[in-house]
Amino acid sequence: MRICIPVKENNGVQSRTYGHFGSAPWFIIYDTESNEIEEVANNNEHHEHGRCNPLSSLHSYNLDAMITGGIGRRALDKIHAAGMKVYRAEHNDSVESVVRLFIDNKLPEVTLKDTCHHHH
């Protein structure tokens, strides 16, 4: 399974989860079968509210799931339309720890009622 995790900085599995999917500077893609990672810069990090399209940076990575600290409704709708589920992690957890929680089925799935309603 290939999991995308929005992060604040690019430090491999020690990278810390970011508080909002759309404005994360980086994405770490973790493959649970091979334990390999890929780092992807978010080319859509700076955007107007409601104009978020970070999936444009991720479309070729064949992702199965997303783990994030926060996400807006439109982005969640787009991710669901792409066939992925989204799970919530605590902001500032390491990639290594959230992947472990995901594998142990201990992360809650994000629903529309859990989405961010505005940018801070």
DSSP string, 69-119: S--BHHHHHHHHHTT-EEEE--TT-BHHHHHHHHHTT-SPBP-GGGSB-S-
Average pLDDT over residues 48-57: 56
Average pLDDT over residues 62-85: 90
More confident residue, 116 or 39: 39
Classify strands 26-31 and 37-41 as parallel, antiparallel or unpaired: antiparallel
Q: pLDDT tens, 79-101?
A: 998 899 999 998 889 999 999 99
> pTM (2 decimals)?
0.85
Which amino acid, one-letter code, is at 37? I
User: How many CB atoms are located within 10 Å of the residue 60 CB?
Assistant: 8
Alpha-carbon distance values, 2 to 19, 29, 35, 43, 78 (Å): 20, 7, 10, 20, 17
pLDDT exceeds cutoff 60 at 47 = no
Q: pLDDT tens, 9-36?
A: 999 999 999 988 888 899 999 999 999 9
pLDDT exceeds cutoff 90 at 49 = no
Average pLDDT over residues 37-43: 90
Distance CA 102, CA 64 (A): 12
Q: Locate 68 and state its tokens.
A: 């994030």
pLDDT exceeds cutoff 70 at 40 = yes
pLDDT given for residue 50 in this prediction: 47
Distance CA 10, CA 112 (A): 29
2-114, CATH topology level: Nucleotidyltransferase; domain 5 (3.30.420)
pLDDT given for residue 113 in this prediction: 83
pLDDT exceeds cutoff 50 at 119 = no
